[in-house]
Structure 1
Amino acid sequence: MGKKVVIVGYGTAGSAAAAYIKLFCRDCDVTVIEKRPYPVYHPCSIPDCISGDIECEKLIEHEPLTKGIEFIASAEVDDVDTSNKVVYFTKEGSRHKMNYDYLILTTGSKPAVPRVLAHALEVDKVFTVKNIEDGIAIRKVALQSKEAIVIGAGAIGLEIATALKKLGLRVILIEALSKILPALLDDDVANYALEKIKAYGVEVVLNKPVVHVEKHGDKVKVQTKDGSEFVADFAVMAIGLRPNIDLAKKIGLKIGELGGVVVDEYMRTSIEGIYAAGDV
């Protein structure tokens, strides 16, 4: 009888783990527990969903990529008894548990929101970008709007700004640092990219860290550190992503200096029998 493997999350790392386990251990019993109601989606195309270049529904796959696994959708793992090797999860309001021999955490990432902007998540018509539902929500509001603010000029911010511009909106892109794509490009290439994005019609504001976001009538007002204010119909925070370690912290896994789960060269965590992979 093969070992029981439970995988939490079915993004790129989770799907790859499931596929390789079934390839090299055909008698292993693999169960994937995924929070989403569907197995697979294609996040790189969310900007195309927003712009309307691709139907949002086409970014979703309704079957797991690997045959021969148990896939539990719309379920959230909220605790793990690491001593007795039991996973606890909730599905449709009911509590369930499952034993495992090996547990693999592939809980991925979530939008990075600085503490100074944590309040913005409670403001109406302020969005983050991570999944298809975010793209659908942004597109719905964008089709009823004339102006948008995008906070963060990294790769995600640039793609969202371009997608919104395709819809004919006035788009203001605000970046805290002195250039766009600050973590990816040197100054010369960043300046070239800046001219291209400006030529496309996106208004780019550099060197202005956002410190406050609030509702302003039926619009959203964004304030920067120097006191400048920008108003639009809605705002998208595209500041980046950070490891989703909520479950990892709860069960006591060691977390590294950069905020992710600490693993060795075999992806083993600090607790025996538990592995981690991907953005986590």
Structure 2
Amino acid sequence: MSTYLLDTAMPEARGTDGETRERLVVVGNGMASLRFLERLTEACPGRYDIACVGAEPQAAYNRVLLSSLLGGEIDEAATAFRGLDWYEAHGIRLITGAPVTTIDRENGLAIVGETHILPFDKMVLAIGSQPIRLPKPGMDLPGVITFRDLADVAAIRRAAVQHAKAIVIGGGLLGLEAAAGLARLGIDTTLLHVMDRLMERQLDHEAAGLVKRAMEERGIKVLLGADTAAVEGDGRVERLRLADGTVLPADLVVMSVGVRPSVALAQEAGLAIGRGILVDDAMTTSDPRIFALGECAEHRGLVYGLVEPAYEQADTLARHFSGQQAAYLGTHLATSLKVSGLPVFSAGIVDTPADAEAVILSDPGAGLYRKLLLRDGRLVGAVFVGDIAEQAACKTLIRSGEPAGDVDDLMFGRPAPQPLAA
């Protein structure tokens, strides 16, 4: 039987006015967690006695920049958000490199590592997600690496030696970013995707074709409809075999086929679980003292794997914790990024349904594509490649459901205001 030591840094905490403060333990120190802490300390500074526990050795950093870090465009310092002094200045005890291993709901205790515990009155779970490895032979060979965090980037860079051949599995956003980062290092890179187009959730066929061309112009070989059968090698990765029998030499395989919510900790604690940790509109789990947000949370049947919904959830929860009325009603997803230097924007519906009208501007030679999807005069979807100047207006119209007005303004840009006559 383990013996646990009560963490005396969080006894009955008292504020400067002598009132007992609620003890809040935030499990996870990623982008969603930090956003919540920022908003909470702005809204009600000093109201809670806060401890934040992160499994990674670093404080929260910008995962969006991992591709740039992999490609050598920035250094690790450029991914950092807040220094340790920020946590200290806001009265937040930050524990890194030591995951919460058990939640004792009956006694209100979070067990950190093997021997220490933190008492809590409220808890926020922001424990993110885990990268998926295909259930195929050879996925445990040395040289098969996921692309998810700073440790993965370091492992990929160690493996990506000169003259190495790299294969990236997965044609979603993270897979494209991993392939682009490897190509910037001068590595011979092949991108495999099992579907018939890249980023099929965000792009239609024509837009995806432009993105594929942009990747190929960077020297990345792109194979679509490529179903991985096995990774093979004697003691480490040497080749990848496709279901059609094609064999591709490989020194490094980067796995980027999606993520699944981290639910083990919550499940062991007896919280209600679906695909993720089930939450209501106040981000409350089945235990009214425990809340969840970000990639680990399932809200109204949806699990989001993007930063924007996580930030909206964090903002909602911070308002709720500060005593305001707040409800999270879901997020209309939009994607805005650069793929190999090519601007891409997508929001709402991508493929044209039978009850909608598509207005399209296409100039493949210039790498330009714009598609607007309208239903009853209202914008329900937009896909832009090459020029995304009207993305903010499109996003607003899709979310509000207001009439789209003059579609030419969205397609070609609003005319510049004329100066008043003297």
Please give the TM-score of this superposition, normalised by the length of structure 1.
0.91
**How far off is 1:49 after superposition?**
1.6
The 8 Å contact of residues 146 and 168 in structure 1, kept in 2 or not, is answered as: no
Q: 1:276 — aligned with what?
A: 292
**How far off is 1:275 after superposition?**
0.3
Counterpart check, 1:211 vs 2:229: yes
Q: 1:41 — aligned with what?
A: 61
CA distance in 2 between counterparts of 1:217 and 1:274 reads 45
Q: 1:107 — aligned with what?
A: 127
Counterpart check, 1:86 vs 2:102: no
The 8 Å contact of residues 163 and 188 in structure 2, kept in 1 or not, is answered as: no
The 8 Å contact of residues 15 and 65 in structure 1, kept in 2 or not, is answered as: no
Q: 1:12 — aligned with what?
A: 31
Counterpart check, 1:262 vs 2:278: yes
Which amino acid letter does the alignment assign opposite residue 72 of structure 2? G
**How far off is 1:179 after superposition?**
0.8
Q: 2:208 — aligned with what?
A: 190
For 1:108-123, list aligned pairs within 5 A.
108-116=128-136, 119-120=138-139, 122-123=140-141
The 8 Å contact of residues 141 and 237 in structure 2, kept in 1 or not, is answered as: no
CA distance in 1 between counterparts of 2:182 and 2:264 reads 32
Distance 1:219 1:102, change over 3 A: closer
For 1:158-237, list aligned pairs within 5 A.
158-216=176-234, 219-237=237-255
The 8 Å contact of residues 109 and 118 in structure 2, kept in 1 or not, is answered as: yes
| Structure with bigger RCO (C-alpha 8 Å, 6+ apart) | 1
Distance 1:64 1:178, change over 3 A: farther
Over residues 120-173 of structure 1, what are the superposed CA-to-partner deviations in whole Å (9 max), with x where a residue is unaligned? Answer: 1x2111110111111112112213443111111111111111111122221111
Q: Identify which of 32, 37, 40 aligns with 2:52.
A: 32
Q: 1:76 — aligned with what?
A: 99
CA distance in 2 between counterparts of 1:106 and 1:217 reads 37
The 8 Å contact of residues 111 and 130 in structure 1, kept in 2 or not, is answered as: yes
CA distance in 1 between counterparts of 2:236 and 2:136 reads 23
Q: How many residues align?
A: 273
CA distance in 1 between counterparts of 2:169 and 2:85 reads 34
Q: 1:55 — aligned with what?
A: 75
What's the Cα RMSD here? Answer: 1.8
SS in 2 for 1:177: coil
SS in 2 for 1:188: helix
Runs (5+) with no aligned partner, structure 1? none
SS in 2 for 1:204: strand
CA distance in 2 between counterparts of 1:144 and 1:8 reads 40
Larger Rg: 2
Distance 1:269 1:36, change over 3 A: same
**How far off is 1:261 after superposition?**
1.1
The 8 Å contact of residues 145 and 233 in structure 1, kept in 2 or not, is answered as: no
CA distance in 2 between counterparts of 1:210 and 1:249 reads 32
**How far off is 1:36 after superposition?**
1.5
Distance 1:169 1:102, change over 3 A: same
Counterpart check, 1:157 vs 2:175: yes
Q: 1:250 — aligned with what?
A: 268
CA distance in 2 between counterparts of 1:234 and 1:145 reads 11
SS in 2 for 1:88: strand
SS in 2 for 1:172: strand
CA distance in 2 between counterparts of 1:73 and 1:193 reads 38
The 8 Å contact of residues 162 and 187 in structure 2, kept in 1 or not, is answered as: no
Please give the TM-score of this superposition, normalised by the length of structure 2.
0.61
Distance 1:261 1:231, change over 3 A: same
CA distance in 2 between counterparts of 1:168 and 1:27 reads 51
The 8 Å contact of residues 49 and 136 in structure 1, kept in 2 or not, is answered as: no
SS in 2 for 1:255: coil
% identical equivalent positions: 29
The 8 Å contact of residues 237 and 253 in structure 2, kept in 1 or not, is answered as: no
SS in 2 for 1:198: helix
The 8 Å contact of residues 220 and 235 in structure 1, kept in 2 or not, is answered as: no
Distance 1:220 1:65, change over 3 A: farther
Over residues 32-69 of structure 1, what are the superposed CA-to-partner deviations in whole Å (9 max), with x where a residue is unaligned? Answer: 01112221222111111221111234324542654221
Which amino acid letter does the alignment assign opposite residue 89 of structure 1? V
